A = this chain, B = another copy of it.
Amino acid sequence: MTQDFTEKTLSSTVVYDGDFLEVRKDQSMLSDGAKATREIVVHPGASMIIPIFDDSTILMENQYRYAVGRHCLEFPAGKRDECETPVETARRELLEETGYTARVWKELINIHPGVGYTNEQITIFIAEQLEMGVPNRDDGELLESVWLTIDDAFSRFHAGEITDAKTIIGLFLARHYCTRR
């Protein structure tokens, strides 16, 4: 990168503090000295898990996503609780949502789903050597586990049935990983 466009925060105010979302409105100074308003959805971060069985089957979830008005096929994921590390969030969410524990955890990458308006960062893990337990879902968290081959998942992606950005990235990472292990 040659040019430096770093901005400086001049002021910061919480303008909406809801049940799930917090919105901040900041004034920033741009690198050219001009001022700008920046609105941000403040997010604690999240972890996403790509559960891969010994035969390369992957575990996904079918759930209704109110914000987009449709069911989504996604990898298990969830928000960071206070004081949790990314892998702790991943272990907890995998257990809560699917009932599985994993003996092997591999941290892959961090992604930003919405650089324009949220500080959310998602840490992506592969979970292997999976063992079934009992799911412990949050109230109102209605979802079902779906077992798929990676090829089947890609067919559904190419058919427009998988549209969740973090999950699409997870599919490419899973395919790359499975061809090399």
A interface list, Cβ under 8 A from B: 1-7, 15-16, 18-21, 23, 25-26, 28, 30-32, 34, 36-41, 62-69, 71-74, 109-122, 139-140, 142-144, 146, 160, 163-166, 168-169, 172
Task: Let me know if B3 and A144 touch, CB within 8 A.
Answer: yes
Residues of B within 8 A of A109 (CB): 160, 163
Task: Let me know if B5 and A142 touch, CB within 8 A.
Answer: yes
Partner of A68, one of B112, B142, B165: B112
Q: What's the number of copies of this chain in the assembled complex?
A: 2
Knowing that A5-B64, A111-B168, A121-B163 touch, tell me 13 more A-B residue pairs with CB under 8 angstroms.
A7-B66, A18-B39, A20-B39, A30-B142, A31-B142, A34-B140, A40-B66, A41-B117, A109-B163, A113-B113, A113-B114, A113-B165, A168-B169
Task: Give the secondary structure class of A's interface.
Answer: mixed
Task: Let me know if A163 and B67 touch, CB within 8 A.
Answer: no
How far is the CB of A112 from the nearest CB of chain B, in Å? 5
Residues of B within 8 A of A172 (CB): 169, 172
How far is the CB of A1 from the nearest CB of chain B, in Å? 5
